[in-house]
Structure 1
Amino acid sequence: MRNPFSKENVVLVPPIFDSPSLAARTMMLESSYNLLFGKLALRSLFEDYFEKARHFSTRIMYKPIDDPHVDLTATVSGPFDHKPNENIVGNALFRWQSDIYNPHTFMDFFVSNTDPVLLVRSSAYYPDKGFGAFGYFLKKRVSSEDYGVMGLRYGSSNLSIGATLMPFSLVNEFPKSAWLVGKIGRLTAGLQYEPHFGSRGGTRFNNLENWSCAIGYGLESASLLSPSFNFSLECVRRSQFNASFYQHVVLQRRVKNPYEGKEFEGKEVVGIMNYIDFGFELQTRVDDNRTSSRNADTTFQVAASWQADKNFLVKGKAGPLSLSIALAFKPWWKPSFTFNVSAIRDHTVGNTSFGFGIRVDNLREASYQRADRNFVMLAPNKEHLADGIQWKHGKRPVLQSDVDSGNFVGIPMELRSLGRIL
């Protein structure tokens, strides 16, 4: 392969707006059942940058230059018009991470002005062996969970199993939750046990309302530079049925320089990668509850997003009750800033409201939009060498060399695989 940084035709690979590593920083504190089956991706697609109507939000994520093992996240959100029943919410999270390349072993402290408690969470995970332990504790004891929750887990590329318990609780509830998820090829299936409080004796395990199950089929990608999709079906506590679909598409868009002598990019740059995400969710009740209306029993929503380059992101989602559109702009300074505004059309009352947010982040690389060596535009007479061709534009294909093979050397950390973790 030729050197992409020489005077040749190359393709730019922009950074992702929201790093997957940020979403994965606390994944070891949750059940794998709640993260797989496209749930984490759908959560980001339907929630990120969609502000509440007539509300604002701000977030600052700061990491000291002298010590990359610690960072601080502070958030402030609230309504435009201050009302007696709505307050400004402020949260702060201090995090210590033992290894900057392994986000799964850490300890953090969380405080909030709305709930005066101190939440301490800790996780230790050993990727080589696949075993991990985690726990979180509260200073204020109101419910049984405030006495502390501990958990054990095992994870590999095809299996995840774990359980949580409350060792210091006065309520005899063992386990608090448990999950088992396995993967064979493109098929993923899982079970999760979450007992209701107040169950008696051994009837907890026999009661189907304490169990949830899901099955998913899809193509997982080792990196966001590769496309992926997931379709899943889930039965929640024998009362609710969920169907969802999520797809991540990587496309190449040509870069044109319309004015001679005033080029937006270098002459060797001929294309740029775009990221398009699409998903939908359908939720309906399957029990014999007839008290609510049929329309309230079934909900449906669909969403899509398009990242055109490193600076602009457009998102939209629609449902039976509302329609929302979000636009985000991100200058990659040091630190980077993200400005987003969202418009919400409420079909029930027939009005349109707006919300906005500001995010400041220095946890990531300031900017690495560049000609990545994994995507090189080949000359027409070199097509016979392009074994990894995935995209074609005219007679000039794009070669993807190392992503599928798992060689992520030279690729930014945020676009690499999370490793051998299901």
Structure 2
Amino acid sequence: MGNYFNKEPPPPLVLVPPLFDFPPLAARTRMLESSYNLLFGKLALKCLFEDYFEEARHFSTRIMLKPTDDPNVDLVATVSGPLDNKPEGKVLGNALFRWQGDVDDPHTFVDLFVSNYEPVLRLRSCSYYPTYGFGSFVIFPLQLKRRIASENYGVVGLRHSSENLSLGATFVPFSTADKCPTNAWLVSKIGRLTVGVQYEPQCGSKDYTRFKNLRNWSCAIGYGVGTGSPLSPSFIFGLELAKSSQFIASFYQHVVVQRRVKNPLEENEVVGITNYIDFGFELQSRVEDVETSNGLPDSTFQVAASWQANKNFLLKGKAGPLSSSIVLAFKSWWKPSFTFSISATRDRTVGKTALGFGIHVENIREASYERADPNFVMLTPSKEHLAEGIHWRSGKRPMLQSDLNSENFDGLPRELRPYGNIL
């Protein structure tokens, strides 16, 4: 009886809401892409600058579903178009059917893409063998109205990827006009530094002399801090010289903070909630002669920030020299989840503001740690000293902050782990 009356109160807890979109959908097909195009913060900045920012006076609807009986397959369908009835407006629709060999490993898959625009029908396949680090992929447009570019005849790629090295090349073996690589890259990671070079032939004759043209080469260097888990703060700074004609400087920062929460629906021991704040900046400047810039601006920039206040609300904004936009998104974690977003874009060239709308339905990425789930709670200190130490708990296995710093994510839900340790 004495132990019953002297029972200690439960420790204060800080909620850990799921991220709106993690891992990003682009990570599912990253083995088809050049690592050079995804590293140096490019993937994170792309998600920050583009996700939920609908085109002015347009709508988009995306449905991402998978059957409960077979989680290895899923379907992603998208419909977008203008809100008005102007004759030049066209409603675009596409669907992507995907088979994935391992539910937890997105690097080996086959997908079939159909749409009412080019390409009308496309097949993609990728195989990756993590034991050896080698992978291969093929992208073949099955139906096109006209095959103009060499890529319209199909693309075959080979790659080697490990934690510190990525190299690969793509070819168009079905084209009789050109047998040279259409893309080649080499990226290496040394500690917190990442350096890379990429070859994309666009200038010069159709022979091997194109390798000597500097306009076909790009190089970049990046400095990054963080584990890649959304629960870890991260910072990425990158410098790139693209096509020997454009200089790009960018940085991206992901911040994990806690704030006090006063919600009568929560338990008494819940004293705080985790928020996710992202900030990104990109500056592009032309380094070639102004006379050869074809009327393009010498430099441009864009800056964006997002704040996820809880598991239901996300606020984003971005600004550039010609326009600025703001987005408010609401997400309900039903099964499937439902997301509604409204964006306002201010075009400063004409002085008008227009709205865009988006609706997403999904059960591909499911959160397993919503609200005050007792299977995963976080105890962390704040400025108000809500707790004395940092302690993670997943199921019956305690997880300390030292485990997170040492990149031991075995005790975390799958959605909170880094989306891959392959460069």
TM-score, length of structure 1 as denominator length? 0.90
User: 1:238 and 1:21, CA in 2 relative to 1: closer, same or farther beyond 3 A?
Assistant: closer
Look up the match of 2:89: 86
Deviation at 1:372, TM superposition (A): 7.1
Contact in 2 for aligned 1:138/1:147 (Cα 8 Å)? yes
Alignment of 1:58-73 (within 5 A): 58-73=61-76
Distance 1:293 1:120 in 2: 37
- 1:419–1:89 Cα change, 3 Å: closer
- 3-state SS, counterpart of residue 318 of structure 2: strand
Q: Deviations over 1:134-184 (max 9, x none)?
A: 110012334321211111111111111111111111122311110000111
In structure 2, the CA distance between the partners of 1:398 and 1:41, relative to structure 1 (3 Å rule), is farther
Contact 1:334 1:366 in 2 (8 A): no
Q: Deviations over 1:3-29 (max 9, x none)?
A: xxx932111111110121533100000
Q: Distance in 2 between matches of 1:186 and 1:275?
A: 23
In 1, Cα distance between equivalents of 2:355 and 2:58 = 8
Cα drift, residue 374 of structure 1 = 7.2
1:146 is matched with 152
Task: State the distance in 1 between where 2:374 and 2:166 align.
Answer: 34
Contact kept in structure 1, 2:180 and 2:208, CA below 8 Å: no
Q: Report the counterpart of residue 286 of structure 2 in structure 1.
A: 285
SS in 2 for 1:213: strand
Query: 1:334 deviation in Å?
Result: 1.1
Matches within 5 A, 1:1-400: 7-20=10-23, 22-115=25-118, 117-139=120-142, 140=144, 141-196=147-202, 199-257=205-263, 263-290=264-291, 292=293, 296-365=297-366, 368-369=369-370, 370-371=372-373, 376-377=378-379, 392-394=383-385, 396-399=387-390
Deviation at 1:366, TM superposition (A): 5.2
Q: Deviations for 1:239-278, whole angstroms, at most 9, x for unmatched residues?
A: 1110001000000111224xxxxx2311111111110000
Q: Secondary structure at the match of 1:238?
A: coil
Residues 247 and 286, structure 2, Cα contact 8 Å, conserved in 1: yes
Structure 2: distance between partners of 1:179 and 1:297: 27
Work out the CA distance in 2 between the residues paired with 1:88 and 1:344: 20
Greater CA drift, 168-177 or 195-204 = 195-204
Q: How many angstroms does 1:295 deviate by?
A: 7.6
State the one-letter code of the partner of 1:236: A
CA deviations over 1:175-216 (Å, ceiling 9, x no partner): 111000011111111000011165243321110000000011
Counterpart mapping for 1:406-417 below 5 A: 406-417=407-418
The structural deviation recorded for 1:35 is 0.1
SS at the partner of 1:20?
coil
Q: Secondary structure at the match of 2:390?
A: strand
- In 2, the alpha carbon distance for the partners of 1:342 and 1:354 equals 6
Instruction: Report the residue type matching 1:112 in the other structure.
Output: S
1:288-323, Cα deviation, whole Å (9 max, x unpaired) = 141558882211110000001100000000111011
Percent of paired sites with the same residue: 65
Q: Aligned with 2:15: secondary structure?
A: strand
Partner Cα distance (1:307, 1:129) in 2: 39
| Structure 2 residue aligned with 1:384 | none
Instruction: Give the structure 2 partner of residue 405 of structure 1.
Output: 406
- What SS does structure 2 have at the residue aligned with 1:26? helix
Aligned to 1:421, the other structure's residue is in SS state coil
Count of aligned residue pairs for this structure pair: 401
In 2: Cα distance, 1:324 partner to 1:333 partner: 28
User: Are the counterparts in 1 of residues 159 and 167 from structure 2 also a CA contact under 8 Å?
Assistant: yes
- 3-state DSSP class of the match of 1:160? strand
Q: Does the 8 A contact of 2:29 with 2:107 survive in 1?
A: yes
- Deviation, 1:284, is 1.0
Cα offset, 1:326, TM superposition: 0.2
Kindly provide the amino acid, as one letter, of the partner of residue 196 in structure 2: G
Counterpart Cα distance in 1 of 2:366 and 2:163 = 28
- Contact 2:203/2:213 (CA < 8 Å) preserved in 1? no
CA distance in 2, matches of 1:279, 1:25: 23
Between the aligned partners of 2:247 and 2:310, the Cα distance in structure 1 is 37
Residue ranges of structure 2 left out of the alignment (5+ in a row): 1-8, 392-399
**CA–CA distance in structure 2, aligned partners of residues 317 and 213 of structure 1:** 27
Distance 1:317 1:185 in 2: 32
CA distance in 1, matches of 2:212, 2:420: 36
Deviations 1:324-345 (A, max 9, x none): 0000000111110000000001
Separation of aligned partners in 2, 1:167 and 1:293: 34
Q: What value does the CA root-mean-square deviation take over the aligned residues? A: 2.0
Kept in 2: contact 1:222–1:406 (CA 8 A): no
